[in-house]
Amino acid sequence: MVRLELNPRYLELCRTEPVSRVTMPYGGEAWLITGYHEIKEFLADPRFSSRWATEPDTARVTPLPLRPGNLLSMDPPDHGKMRKIVAHAFRPRIVSDLTDRMRELVTTELDAMEEAGPPGDLVQRLAIPLPVRMIVELFGVPYEERAEFRRYSDVFVATSAHTREEVNEARDGLEQFLRKLISIRRASPSDDLISVLIEALDAGQMTEVEAVRTGIGILMAGHETSLSMISNVSFLLLAQRDLYEQLLADRNLLDPAIEEMLRIIPLRSTGSFPRRASEDVEIGGVLIRKGETVIFQRAAGDRDERVFEDPETIRFDRERNPHLGFGHGIHYCLGAALARAELKAAIGGLLDRFPGLRLAGSVDDVPWKPGLIARAPESLPVTW
């Protein structure tokens, strides 16, 4: 795949074979789901186990499967219990407070970029500092320690960019980092996520492994995914600059524009995290046997002609947009409201400050991160 383009084979499968057999880079064969309705059915079916997908023989795109104990690798009832605990840190008041901080941070970063003069790099000036600052505040991580978890993050989400050994070392490093944070926060509890995990840990509601690995899952999803999405949305608006012009002309389009870009941007370079059937299940007329692995390509489902009119066209005035950008079912993204607020603060800030913003070079000059689960520009040079 190139930049934000989706391989047309996915769309062909969505139309003709929405549940198809594929060979994975690691672990053998799996079922790939590309149809919108079939993806929703799969995500809502408790017979597909995330916990089983932590087994080493699971077909997957990453060198190693997720470790058990992470919220993303849990099944009911453990998943529901753990999600209820950590959801406390994402309640509306917390997100509202962070939203105010986002606007302040965007202003500060764009002040610095404007003062330095063009060209500027939106990845370094906006896409990295905004979600990193928000996740460290949500967690209660000292901001000066952000580099410690950032150096593990790209390795953690590697497909081919790093070896199994390097991925394992990054996971160990992040677990050590979280254990250290838990130890430090015990002496000064607060309203942050680390304190929430400690409270549940001390009450016997989770084990230390679950606290650490669930913390890592949220830490990674909370900054790496948002970082990539801010970069991608910025790139898309400037690569197809008529889209940026539409938002300049009508700021009321910003909210629906964010939803449309969540639909159209194929954030993941490959399929989803895998799940495995805990019994024989039929989806889309295909029988999936117990133990078999299933992944899905969300971006293909969000271009399903059965659901979205003119799905390949980016339309900021789309009236109905039930996209799957944040998932569906029990694993629906806990931080969806926070992610939307970050995108709105970032893009709104650019529109306010730089109406003449454009790429500093050609679209083809933008470098992209290779070999990772999420696709995103390595840097995004802009001028104004």
Angle separating helix axes 226-239 and 241-249, nearest 10 degrees: 90
The predicted structure's pLDDT at residue 370: 81
**Confidence label for 2 from pLDDT (cuts 50, 70 and 90):** low
Evaluated on CA atoms 197, 198, 199, 204, the torsion sign reads: positive
- Helix axes of 336-353 and 92-116: crossing angle, nearest 10 degrees: 30
- Does pLDDT of 368 surpass 60? yes
Active-site hit among 53, 89, 127, 221: 221
What would the mean pLDDT of 214-223 be, rounded to a whole number? 81
The helix or strand, by DSSP H or E, that contains position 275, with its residue range, turns out to be: strand 275-277
Residues 6+ away with beta carbon under 8 Å from 196:
85, 86, 88, 89
What distances in angstroms separate CA 75 from CA 88, 286, 335, one per listed residue? 20, 23, 19
Residue 262 φ/ψ region, left for φ over 0, alpha for ψ in the -120 to 50 degree band, beta for the rest = alpha
Order the strands of the 293-296 sheet from edge to edge: 19-23, 29-33, 293-296, 275-277, 48-49
15-57 per-position pLDDT tens digit: 999 999 999 999 999 999 999 999 999 999 999 999 999 999 9
Residue pointed to by tokens 């109905």:
320
- Greatest mean pLDDT among 86-95, 97-106, 174-183, 305-314 lies in 305-314
Tokens of 255: 């909210």
pLDDT over 70 at 362, yes or no: yes
96: pLDDT strictly greater than 70 = yes
> Residue 238: is its pLDDT beyond 70?
yes
Residue 231 has pLDDT above 80, yes or no: yes
Average pLDDT over residues 287-296: 97
Q: From the candidates 109, 175, 210, 342, which is the catalytic residue?
A: 342
Concatenate the DSSP letters of all residues of 14-70 into one string.
Answer: HHH-SEEEEE-SBSSEEEEE--HHHHHHHHH-TTEESSGGGSTT--BSSSSPPPTTS
pLDDT at 226 over 80: yes
- Select the more confidently predicted residue: 315 or 183: 315
Point out the catalytic residue in the list 210, 224, 260, 292. 224
104 is catalytic: no
The SS3 of residue 103 is: helix
Say if residue 142 is preceded by a cis peptide, omega within 30 of 0. Answer: no
351 contact partners, CB below 8 Å, separation of at least 6: 244, 247, 248, 251, 254
| pLDDT exceeds 50 at position 216 | yes
Helix (H) or strand (E) holding 359: strand 358-359
> In this predicted structure, which of 62-66, 111-115, 189-193 has the lowest mean pLDDT?
189-193
Residue 118, preceding bond cis, omega within 30 degrees?
A: no
Q: Which of 153, 161, 169, 333 is catalytic?
A: 333
Residue 224 known to be catalytic: yes
**Which range scores top for mean pLDDT: 40-54, 83-97, 156-170, 328-342?**
40-54
Q: Please state, in angstroms and as integers, the Cα–Cα distance from residue 325 to each residue in 134, 198, 262, 272, 297, following that order.
A: 20, 31, 5, 12, 11
- What's the mean per-residue pLDDT of the chain? 91
Is the pLDDT score of 295 beyond 60?
yes
Catalytic residue among 49, 73, 226, 234: 226
Q: Does the pLDDT value for residue 240 go beyond 80?
A: yes
Q: Residue 232's closest CA among 72, 346, 361, 102?
A: 346
- Specify the pLDDT at position 1: 45
- Per-residue pLDDT, 315: 97
Residue range 156-184: mean pLDDT, rounded: 82
Q: What mean pLDDT is predicted for residues 197-201?
A: 91
To the query of whether residue 221 is one of the catalytic residues in this protein, the response is: yes
| 279 included as an active-site residue | no
